[in-house]
Amino acid sequence: MTATAAAHAGTRPSPKRGLRLTPMALIWPAMLYLILTTQVPFFMTVYYSFFRYNLAIPGARPFVGLDNYRNLLSDPQNLHILGNTVVLAGGTLLLTLLLGATLALLLNRDFPGRALLRTLLISSFLIMPVVTAVVWKNMLLNPVFGFFSWLVTRLGGHPVDWLAQYPMASVIGMITWEWTPFAMLILLTGLQSLPDDQLEAARLDGASPWQEFRYVVLPHWTQAIQVVVLMETIALLQVYGEIYGSTSGGPGIATTNLPYFIYQKAFAEYNIGLASAAGVITVVLTNLLAVYLLKLISRTHSGRGD
Amino acid sequence: MPAPHLPRHRLQGGLLTLLTYLLALAFLFPLVWMFMAAFKTEAQAFAVPPVFVFTPVFENFQHALGSYFPALRNSLVAAVGSTVLAFILGLPAAFALAVYPTRRAQGVLTWMLSTKFMPAVGVIVPLFLLFRNLHLLDTLPGLILMYTTMNLPLVVWMMHSYMTEIPYAIYEAAKVDGASVAQEFFGIAMPLSTPGMAATALLCLIFAWNEVFFALNLTNSDAAPLSVFISQFKTSEGLFWAQMSAAATLTVLPVLIFGWVAQRQLVRGLSFGAVK
């Protein structure tokens, strides 16, 4: 992509007389829109985060400096919420990578019904998060009537109130179900772009299946894995609908992550100042991770001379 | 190849295929269970032990349809409206960045992608207050504005990658013939990237359809899309499982069909073209 861009730049046409549409004029509307709807509100969020600002107490909005941040970071409960956010995103990421890789390897073989299976397997990713939450909560995880409880009883166990006894594990399971197809799709595409001659060469050299995987498949797979890690990290730090629809952050704060916490502070307690500070922390956290991961990807990407 | 190797190989292959099918079945089960419940009576839907064989009934869909249609209309308007707006703003930008790349173009592209890293919670508070003052809360234009923000970087990135694939010689030939920028855009770039436009539009529609954060916090009743409608079933303890399943089925079916059709393009869109 970069190579063609450079080639274009070399043959860039000289500006014509009477040209009404300049390239920049074509780019600006999109840029302006994004600045107005993302950058401006974000700076307003930063601004609000320095005030004690509660919508329930109109009129009074004293400047408190970094007090909101201090409150956020000194309350052990909030550190627990930060921990939840990391456990939720990290746990789901790990499980989706393992399951997605397994499914991708299995689907990379030739067998009857493969195309159909691949198509059907992406379904859970396309399901609206709230539908996932509502269906899992009511029909699968319900302690009395839920399918999983019946299954456990049939296998000789006791009925389990999943969302009450294992809230975080249940939510991770649910979101893993949603995101495994994404990992599978990207990893499968990565596998399929591996040239056959590389594998053949390895086989001719007498490589065992494990060596073949370790030294041929895995290095080639790195980029796809990195893409999955980047995209999922960003998305999973923002998980909201699944929690809203299933546990509402509970029991207690067992499944409250940063986005759900901010929603509660802003829209249930009207504590705009504190919610804004938490919003700023989330954005900074996400961007730090994203920039780091993006650097990682572009390094291997350019290493291949693309 | 030694002869005894072959049957063992075949057996292994068969077992792996069986494993694939079993895993797929487990993965699809929640969805199949939901589809099945939509055609059960309420009593059958939460019966213990679960009912696997039953005569399908259709009344759940009739019940669900009543409140489904206004939400469906809102979802359709918001999804289509934001996709159209994102294309109007994004296509020219993608074209300019692909055909007239300056040194700054890569920076602009990266910056646009970085707006996707912005968690919605980082902007929701000021937007909520702004919408309240502008009377945009619980309106479809308000929802369309936010969904456009979500889809615009996707349109620019995907269309940029499709438009850089158009051979540059075609533009040069057009320039020799004295084509203007507008003629290049409408005469070359747009017609030659139609498949890319279709794939991008499909992705935008899916994302807007499934969005829930802005929907829940910026709409209430008048403009509430399907995601808000479905979340009302959040606390349905047994009594309305069949009806809930029918409503959920109606909600996810259009997206499922779209996604199945566009699965190849999904990869490109979801990874911003990083994996092909």
pLDDT digits 0-9 by tens, A225-259: 998 998 899 889 989 989 998 888 878 889 999 99
Of the candidates B17, B99, B122, which has its C-beta nearest A42's C-beta? B122
**Could you say which residues of chain A have pLDDT below 70?**
1-21, 300-306
Which residue in the block uniquely carries the two structure tokens 């069949």? B242
- Closest residue in chain A to residue B181, using alpha carbons only: A21
Distance to chain B for A75, nearest Cα, Å: 20
Of the candidates B105, B120, B258, which has its C-beta nearest A238's C-beta? B120
Instruction: Note whether A125 contacts B236, CB cutoff 8 Å.
Output: no
> Which two structure tokens, joined as six digits, stand for B2?
């030694």
Please, which residues have CB within 8 angstroms of residue B254's CB and are 6 or more apart in sequence? B209
In degrees rounded to 5, what are phi and psi of residue A63?
A: -75, 125
CA distance A84 to A92: 12
CA distance B33 to B53: 12
Among B118, B151, B154, B232, the strongest candidate for a mutation testing the A interface, having the largest count of A CBs within 10 A, is B118
Chain B (74-113) residues lying within 8 Å, Cβ to Cβ, of chain A? 89-90, 92-93, 95-97, 99-103, 105-106, 108, 112
CA distance B251 to B209: 9
Instruction: Note whether B230 contacts A131, CB cutoff 8 Å.
Output: yes
Position A30 scores a pLDDT of: 93
pTM score of the predicted model: 0.86
E strand segments, chain A: none
Position A104 scores a pLDDT of: 94
Residue B153 forms contact with A (CB below 8 Å): yes
Position A302 scores a pLDDT of: 56
Contacts of B43 in chain A (CB under 8 A): none
Position A21 scores a pLDDT of: 65
- Closest residue in chain B to residue A220, using alpha carbons only: B275
> Which two structure tokens, joined as six digits, stand for A280?
């700023």
Residue B252 forms contact with A (CB below 8 Å): yes
Instruction: Note whether B217 contacts A241, CB cutoff 8 Å.
Output: no
Position B2 scores a pLDDT of: 45
Instruction: Note whether B267 contacts A286, CB cutoff 8 Å.
Output: no
Position B276 scores a pLDDT of: 65
Contact criterion met (CB below 8 Å) for A207 and A216: yes
Contacts of A119 in chain B (CB under 8 A): 260, 263
Instruction: Note whether A107 contacts B105, CB cutoff 8 Å.
Output: no
Residue A189 CB burial class (10 angstroms; 0-12, 13-18, ≥19): buried
Instruction: Of A225, A222, A228, A218, give the one whose Cα is nearest residue A125.
Output: A228
Chain B (193-212) residues lying within 8 Å, Cβ to Cβ, of chain A? 206, 209-210, 212
Instruction: Note whether B103 contacts A287, CB cutoff 8 Å.
Output: no
Instruction: Note whether B256 contacts A189, CB cutoff 8 Å.
Output: no
Contact criterion met (CB below 8 Å) for B70 and B223: no
Tell me how crowded residue A215 is: count the other CB atoms within 10 A of its CB: 12
CA distance A92 to B177: 56
Taking CB atoms within 8 Å and a gap of at least 24, the contacts of B57-65 are: B60/B242, B60/B243, B60/B245, B60/B246, B61/B246, B61/B250, B63/B243, B63/B246, B64/B243, B64/B246, B64/B247, B64/B250, B65/B250
3-state secondary structure of B222: coil
Instruction: Note whether A45 contacts B125, CB cutoff 8 Å.
Output: yes
Of the candidates A138, A150, A237, which has its C-beta nearest B244's C-beta? A138
pLDDT digits 0-9 by tens, B39-71: 888 778 777 777 787 878 888 888 878 788 889
Among A4, A26, A55, the strongest candidate for a mutation testing the B interface, having the largest count of B CBs within 10 A, is A26
Position A301 scores a pLDDT of: 57
Contacts of B212 in chain A (CB under 8 A): 128-130, 240-241, 244
Instruction: Note whether A5 contacts B164, CB cutoff 8 Å.
Output: yes
Instruction: Note whether B234 contacts A107, CB cutoff 8 Å.
Output: no
ipTM of the complex: 0.86
Instruction: Note whether B90 contacts A41, CB cutoff 8 Å.
Output: no
Contact criterion met (CB below 8 Å) for B257 and B142: no
Contact criterion met (CB below 8 Å) for A81 and A278: no
CA distance B109 to B156: 8
Position A11 scores a pLDDT of: 46
Position B92 scores a pLDDT of: 93
CA distance B260 to A123: 8
In degrees rounded to 5, what are phi and psi of residue A182?
A: -60, -50
Contacts of B123 in chain A (CB under 8 A): 37-38, 41-42, 45, 279
Phi-psi region of B123 (alpha: psi -120 to 50; beta: other; left: phi over 0): alpha
- Closest residue in chain A to residue B183, using alpha carbons only: A21
Contact criterion met (CB below 8 Å) for A279 and A296: no
Contact criterion met (CB below 8 Å) for A128 and B209: yes
Distance to chain A for B78, nearest Cα, Å: 15
Tell me, what amino acid is at B4?
A: P
Q: What's the average pLDDT block by block, 10 residues per block, for chain B (276 residues)?
A: 58 88 92 89 78 81 83 94 96 90 82 83 88 91 93 92 88 86 87 89 91 90 88 74 88 91 81 73
Bond from prior residue into B126 cis (ω within 30 degrees of 0): no
Residue B167 forms contact with A (CB below 8 Å): no
Ranges of H-type helices in B164-193: 168-176, 181-184, 190-192
